[in-house]
Amino acid sequence: MNSKNLKSVRVNFNLRPAPEDAKDTALNCVIRWNQQKIVISSVERIKPSNWNPKTQRAKKFAGHTEFNTRLDNIENDIKEVYRTFINDENQYPTIPHLREIVKNKLAGIQPAKKLPLTFFEHVKEYIQQASERENPKTGRKLAPVTIRVYNQVSNILKEFEQYRGKAITFEGMNLAFYEDYKSFLQYNRGYAKNTVGKHIRVLIGFLNDAGIKGIELHKDLKHKNFKGVTDPDVKNIYLNDAELELIAGLDLSEPNKYIEITKGKESNPTKVKVSFNSLDRVRDLFLIGCYTGLRFSDFTTISRQSIDIPNRLISIKTQKTNKQVVIPIHKTVLKIINKYQDLTENSLPPALSNAKMNEYLKGIADLAGLDEIISKSKTIAGKVVTRNYKKWELVCTHTARRSFASNSYKMGIPVYTIMGITGHTSEKTFKNYVKLDETEHAKIIAGFWNRQELKIVDVQ
């Protein structure tokens, strides 16, 4: 939560009920904030006849100026300790906490000096506040999956601290620490290069936040080598137009027919039966992703209001980037909309979880005969490991988005036009989605050459 969004405190002075001619009566201080209230009793005493309840200050009498100054000082002190707490803690104080710091302030008791946070205390605080933190690019709250990643990175850092036998401190975060931690992730945890990079980038996020809060960091954090590593050569697949037609052409209309698919980790796979009815829904949802370029979180949540049939457009604000995109409705998507017309609220297939869709998609791609052998290499524990897969084994929900980007690029659609639909703001990031191999790039160039030669012949 941003401290700028936290509301201020209100301070009032209320005289205890008493007759007008009564002697000095206790004046209470009432403090209200965030729908909470505390009362500090008897901060002053005054005759009821000398008190103005509308202005909440003393009327004119001998010494009234000094009396009102004391009330002003009390109000200012309360507002000061409240603002300090808000700025330091980035959250509202509880009733007991505010009561304690106000009473100490009014009594002239200095608060105990706050010790600097340890590294893991800071990380714990960072994660606790994560549910209220906003993505600076989108202004939206962080997703629960992001918080789970933060917790995972924190746990691995604790494991590294134990393995290393030395406490992790802010001042110890130098290049030597970086190399040791990276080596631990690669060799002890056996992580692939991109996973190592993800852990380091989250760590850098922890440290940058500490720097913003005034914690002194090691100068090596600014070194060009203190960064998250990436493996740009990881080979992710896409499905070309012919393969998408094979999937679209599958007859999954028999509701009582089943196939057996493999689920779970490679080390402990299990077999389950899945009905054609479920596969049909997953196939249709996947094709919507392939012909819209949307992420799973978006193509499974398209509302009826987002679909403009007369103009053949889908207009949707994407969940991850909060960016409005407008997408033409492909003939395959229109066919699916007609198929589910009046069967669902949005005339689209009901969504399954991402995990189930990934499992079912592999069975669908297997049925479609996508048996091409794909060799995938990645760096694990510092070594390049290569394994052969059948293409159907690699199909997942994100294959849809890569397929849209790659097929659109192959058609010669301008990159920035495709980015306008996928929502990418960086051409570098977008190019990670274009998964053409060297031969396909060569065919694109040859196609342009052939068209140019035909133009020359026509001119002659």
Q: Is 401 left (phi over 0), alpha (psi -120 to 50) or beta?
A: alpha
Residues 57 and 135 both lie in one domain:
no
The pLDDT score that the predictor gives to residue 1 is 46
Question: Rounded CA gap, 117 and 123, in Å?
Answer: 9
Any domain includes 22: yes
User: Which residues in 295-328 are b (16+ Cβ under 10 Å) and which e?
Assistant: bbebbbebeeebbeeeeeebebebbebebebebe
Q: Is residue 389 part of a domain?
A: yes
> pLDDT for 330-373, tens place per residue?
999 999 999 999 899 999 999 999 889 999 999 999 999 999 99
CATH number at residue 257: 1.10.443.10
Would you say residue 20 lies in a domain?
A: yes
How, if at all, do strands 313-317 and 307-308 pair? antiparallel
Same domain, 140 and 100: no
Half-sphere exposure in the Cβ direction for 365 (13 Å, CA)? 29
The ranges of the chain with pLDDT < 50 are 1, 457, 459-460
Structural domain contains residue 458: no
Question: Tokens for 129?
Answer: 């506040």
Has residue 351 been placed in a domain?
yes
94 and 127, same domain (yes or no)? no
Instruction: Give domain status of residue 245, yes or no.
Output: yes
Instruction: Please say whether the beta carbons of 251 and 241 come within 8 A.
Output: no
Whether 265 and 363 share a structural domain: yes
What is the per-residue pLDDT for 80?
92
Same domain, 80 and 125: no
Domain assignment of residue 369, yes or no: yes
Note whether 374 and 336 are same-domain residues: yes
Q: Which of 84, 107, 130 is the last residue of a domain?
A: 107
In a domain, 228, yes or no: no
pLDDT for 147 equals 87
Of 185, 192, 362, give the one whose Cα is nearest residue 269.
362
Identify whether residues 101 and 130 lie together within a single domain: no
Q: Element (H or E) spanning 281, and its range? A: helix 276-292
Q: Does 256 lie in the same domain as 203?
A: no
Per residue in 304-318, pLDDT tens?
999 999 999 999 988
Q: Are residues 83 and 181 in the same domain?
A: no
pLDDT of residue 314: 94
For the chain, the domain total comes to: 3
Q: Are residues 349 and 284 in the same domain?
A: yes
Q: Do 414 and 279 fall into the same domain?
A: yes
Per-residue pLDDT, 193: 84
* Phi/psi at 137 (5° precision): -80, -35
- Asked if 32 and 8 count as a contact pair (C-beta separation under 8 A), the reply is no
Domain that holds residue 369: 241-451
Q: Note whether 271 and 419 are same-domain residues.
A: yes
**Structure-derived torsion over alpha carbons of residues 285, 289, 294, 296, reported in degrees to the nearest 10:** 50
Which of 222, 249, 281 lies at the terminal end of a domain, its last residue? 222
Domain end (from 222, 250, 275): 222
Query: Which residue reads 């009901």 in tokens?
Result: 350
- Collect all residues with Cβ–Cβ distance below 8 Å to 390 and sequence separation of at least 6: 366, 370, 371, 372, 373, 374
Picking from 123, 186, 189, the residue whose alpha carbon sits closest to that of residue 156 is 189
Quote the pTM value: 0.61
Residue 414 has a pLDDT of 87
